[in-house]
Amino acid sequence: MKNLLRDKTSLKEDIEIALNAQAKMEAEASSKYLAMASWLERNGFERSAEYLYRQAEEEREHFLKIFRYINEVGGNAVTPVVGEVQLEYPDLRSVFEVALQSEIAVTNSINRLVGQCRANHDYATEDFLMWYVKEQREEEKNARRALELFELIDVNSATGRFVLDKEIAKIGGHE
């Protein structure tokens, strides 16, 4: 049956495999953000936690969008197994350093996938992925902004940490 289905789609097998890998990466990002939000909430940073809860949900939506695209074009979307994620962080800043590293890794992965689509002349999938290219610009900008706030706000005082928590919550136009 798989060969018959493969004949009825323009989605090349290597692109399907890469899309499933990207979907897994998005699902893992959702889990990472959820764990980060939990750490933040447990440590009194409720507004920053809300920001990362929103990010977790957004990453889940990114995962589902790819998952559904694969099936839509006649491929086989695979439900990914998500491994363990980091649950503890040494401090507030390290949460957002990891978040930025994660966003950069996702951007690089999306860029490689777009290049693979071009090389395979899969312009439909490339077009689909352009939404992710734009989205990743915003995601990286927001992650960098969170780290910039650490340079602008004195986090060595309770008041500074309170202000930082409020300002992080505003990233991306929220609150």
Percent of the chain with pLDDT over 90: 89
Give the list of residues 6+ apart from residue 64 with CB closer than 8 angstroms, or none.
none
Cα 140 to chain centroid, rounded: 10
Give yes or no for a contact between 18 and 78, defined as CB atoms under 8 angstroms apart. no
Helix (H), strand (E) counts: the chain = 6, 0
Give residue-wise pLDDT tens across range 1-26.
455 555 677 889 999 999 999 999 99
In whole angstroms, give the CA distance from residue 38 to residue 59: 16
84-94 per-position pLDDT tens digit: 999 999 999 99
For 173, which DSSP code? S
Sequence-distant (6+) residues with CB within 8 A of 55 are: 33, 37, 99
Backbone dihedral region for residue 44 (phi beyond 0: left; psi -120 to 50: alpha; all else: beta): left
The one-letter amino acid code at 46 reads E
pLDDT score at 1: 46
Inter-CA distances, 4 with 1, 9, 74, Å: 5, 9, 11
3-state secondary structure (DSSP) of residue 83: coil
Domains detected in the chain: 2-169 (1.20.1260.10)
Specify the pTM: 0.91
**Residue 137: band (very low, low, confident or very high) from pLDDT cuts 50, 70, 90:** very high
DSSP states of 104-163: HHHHHHHHHHHHHHHHTT-HHHHHHHHHHHHHHHHHHHHHHHHHHHHHHS-TTSHHHHHH
- With bands split at pLDDT 50, 70 and 90, how would you rate the model's confidence at 134? very high
What are the pLDDT digits (tens) for 61-81?
999 999 999 999 999 999 999
* Distance (Å, whole) CA 150 – CA 168: 10
